[in-house]
Amino acid sequence: MNTIIYFIRHAESPYVAGRELTRGLSAKGQQDAEQVRLTLRNRAIDRFYSSPYERAIRTIKPLAEERGQEIHLIDELKERMIGDITGSSFYGAKQAVYRDFSCSYPGGESSREAQRRGAAVIRELLNRHSGQTLVIGTHGDLMTLLLNAFNPRYDFDFWESTSMPDIYKADFSGQEMIQVTREWRA
């Protein structure tokens, strides 16, 4: 029996400098979190996991609450910090860290480092919950890097194509990702 992971990229969240951990959702983000609930309400889901960032938690919270299930927070599922990109555009910095997985900016984390910490969690969850269905509240960069750990076709172009929120269903046979489908996008 396959293990299914729904990777749910967080909904829209207003940017507030210095509040990465505590930023909530915008009004549109709250509406989209409700759409996430409606999209997945008839799916069998065994466990909920999330980044500790408030925007990721709030995106999956309506679905978890409807089912009376707890959201388990895992620090290693936090978003990758790009770091100080002074002198570079945000877009250019993102391209650089995807082009070279060892590239990092001051105070930031390379793609390789972020992927290593996140993929270790996914592999452990696949072992612990074999044959079950999981929801993971996540972020655009980390979701891309997690999928890339199992299939290199998930790259900068994929990251660029994602929306807030976004739902990807990944089917795993053991530790092998055998199929990914986009279930919904904002």
Is a pLDDT exceeding 80 seen at residue 17? no
CATH superfamily of 3-185: Phosphoglycerate mutase-like (3.40.50.1240)
Q: How confident is the model at residue 21 (pLDDT cuts 50, 70, 90)?
A: confident
What amino acid is encoded at 71 in this protein?
I
Predicted pLDDT of residue 149: 98
> What global pTM score does this model have?
0.96
Sequence-ordered list of residues with C-beta below 8 angstroms from that of 129, at least 6 positions apart, any chain: 3, 46, 47
Is a pLDDT exceeding 90 seen at residue 19? no
pLDDT tens by residue, 141-185: 999 999 999 999 999 999 999 999 999 999 999 999 999 999 998
Q: Distance of CA 172 to CAs 99, 122, 129, 150, 169, Å?
A: 27, 11, 11, 10, 10
Sequence-ordered list of residues with C-beta below 8 angstroms from that of 14, at least 6 positions apart, any chain: 23, 26
